[in-house]
Amino acid sequence: MHMSDAAQIADSRPGAPPVLDDEERRRRMRSVITAAGIGHFVEWFDFGLYGTLATVISLHFFKQGAPQVALLSAFAVFGAGFVMRPLGGLFFGSMGDRIGRRTTLAFVIMMTSAATFLMGVLPTYQLVGLWAPVLLVIVRLVQGFAAGGESSGATTLLAEYAPSNRRGFVSSFVDVFGFAAFVVGGGLVLIVAGGFGDAALNSWGWRVLFMIALPLGLAGLYLRVRLEDTPEFRAVKARQRIAKSPLLQSVRTSWGALLFCVGFVVIKAVGHWVLQTFMPSYLQADLGYSSVLSYAATLIGMIVIAALVPVFGLLSDHIGRRPVMIAGCAGFVVLTYPTLMLMSAGNFIAATAAMVILGIFMAAFDGAMSAAMAELFPTNIRYGSMAIAYNVCVAIFGGITPYFATYLITATGNRFAPAFYIMAAALVSLIVVWRARETFRDRLRAE
């Protein structure tokens, strides 16, 4: 009987589960991917809706005057949620390394789905005045706090369940579900805007879309509660090697790995929030596309990324994480500016082609990066280490990206100015990946 590397390792360790046959392992792996992915889906469904509907949100939660000022305000509130991500990473990361991945991720999905649902029931500026943006900020802060524990936790869960020779492929499903959330969210926005008109989207449609998160969250909670914790964590727990202060131990023993992780995340943070959040408003406000065409072009780009991420994850299992990540970074450095120029052609085909080109680079980097991050740290501090490194970087770069990209256009008068920001972020990650050690053949360390 063929056994995965993960099963071979687990078979010889205290607290390890029994060896499973191939069909049972595949069934369990599907369950794990679904349980990890649905929580990630809910998180990015919320963030994706907010970005896609930024123009609508600016109409309802801020005093109307100059449209660009209201849009900047909406993006500023979007960024405020990212301020809480490092705090959420500290809290949930430490929790996940001390009491387990499953329990922590179950708590995270409850908080995430509740905050997203509340977005759909908040009163508007027209009803309560300045209380509207205040309540909006509070909900975004709660959402950001919960998000601080989701990405790193889901990545940890998948990486620790995956066979070592398929870790890139399995871990990549974190981003598959993330981009799928943008596809579904963007698709629903497109359906409402195209089928019922912008008036319906602006009046009631946006509320219904945010409320969908609650039943999704309940389904995800059910799946996560039923899931066993990872073989890696159970083995560490059985050997009584749980870190008492995982974050302190991470800083003391793995500061180099933390810096590499931060460097990896720079282009991920900037690239994700440009493609997912900034692009719909950019196509409308700066390039003159209709709302339906801008949503459609963005949606197609997200579909391409979701489809290609596991392909690049699988490729990284064969040729290594570094070559795949380097290719993604290099693509952004060389072709971002020409791609934004292509978008300005003003037709749907050009906008879609540009989104697909940028999407391929993003898929390449994402496909290899989740496993690369997990392989930097030992099991007893993996969740917390990734959580703090990932969320600090996302808070600095991801949260400000839509606002800063919009500001660059306003300040310079150059509608292609955001390209330089993307290129700079890609160059930083390219240098870091170039200097990193290849890890795709490594087994996960326990401590």
Q: CB atoms < 10 A from the CB of 332, how many?
A: 27
Percent of the chain predicted with pLDDT > 90? 49
Q: What is the pLDDT of residue 371?
A: 96
Q: For residue 178, give both structure tokens.
A: 């993330």
Sequence-distant (6+) residues with CB within 8 A of 234 are 15, 16, 17, 228
Mean pLDDT of 304-332: 97
Q: Are 425 and 270 in contact (CB under 8 A)?
A: yes
In this predicted structure, the answer to whether residue 322 has a pLDDT above a threshold of 80 is yes
Task: Round to whole Å and give the CA distance between 343 and 327.
Answer: 22
| Phi and psi, residue 356, nearest 5° | -65, -45
Burial class (CB in 10 A: 0-12, 13-18, 19+), 380: buried
Q: What is the pLDDT of residue 65?
A: 63
Q: What is the pLDDT of residue 66?
A: 58
Q: What is the pLDDT of residue 4?
A: 41
Categorize the per-residue pLDDT at 10 as very low, low, confident or very high, splitting at 50, 70 and 90: very low
Q: Residues for the chain: how many in total?
A: 447
Q: What is the pLDDT of residue 431?
A: 97
> What pLDDT, in 10s, does the model give residues 86-96?
999 999 999 99
> Mean pLDDT in the chain?
87
In this predicted structure, the answer to whether residue 1 has a pLDDT above a threshold of 50 is no
Q: What is the pLDDT of residue 109?
A: 92
In this predicted structure, the answer to whether residue 180 has a pLDDT above a threshold of 80 is yes
Q: For residue 145, give both structure tokens.
A: 């706090």
Q: Are 32 and 161 in contact (CB under 8 A)?
A: yes
- Three-class secondary structure of residue 17 per DSSP: coil
Sequence-distant (6+) residues with CB within 8 A of 249 are 243, 380, 381
Ranges 59-73, 173-187, 269-283, 294-308: which has the least confidence? 59-73
Mean pLDDT of 110-134: 88
Q: What is the pLDDT of residue 227?
A: 87
Task: Round to whole Å and give the CA distance between 271 and 81.
Answer: 18
Q: What is the pLDDT of residue 190?
A: 78
Q: What is the pLDDT of residue 7?
A: 41
In angstroms, the Cα distances linking 256 to 156, 385, 427, 435 are: 19, 11, 19, 12
Q: What is the pLDDT of residue 12?
A: 45
Q: What is the pLDDT of residue 307?
A: 95
247 closest CA partner among 91, 69, 46? 91
Q: What is the pLDDT of residue 6?
A: 41
Mean pLDDT of 338-348: 92
- Three-class secondary structure of residue 377 per DSSP: coil
> What pLDDT, in 10s, does the model give residues 195-219?
888 788 888 888 999 999 899 889 9
The full set of domain ranges for the chain reads 25-435
For 397, which DSSP code? I
Q: Are 418 and 274 in contact (CB under 8 A)?
A: yes
> What pLDDT, in 10s, does the model give residues 19-28?
445 667 778 8
Q: What is the pLDDT of residue 93?
A: 93
Categorize the per-residue pLDDT at 82 as very low, low, confident or very high, splitting at 50, 70 and 90: confident
Topology given in CATH for the domain delimited by 25-435: Growth Hormone; Chain: A; (1.20.1250)
Q: Are 71 and 55 in contact (CB under 8 A)?
A: yes
> What pLDDT, in 10s, does the model give residues 386-438?
999 999 998 888 767 877 888 899 899 999 999 999 999 999 999 999 999 99
Percent of the chain predicted with pLDDT > 70? 93
Q: What is the pLDDT of residue 9?
A: 37
Mean pLDDT of 306-319: 97
Which carries the bigger pLDDT value, residue 70 or residue 260?
A: 260
Categorize the per-residue pLDDT at 67 as very low, low, confident or very high, splitting at 50, 70 and 90: low
Q: What is the pLDDT of residue 69?
A: 67
415 closest CA partner among 50, 49, 68, 57? 68
Mean pLDDT of 177-185: 85
Mean pLDDT of 123-143: 86
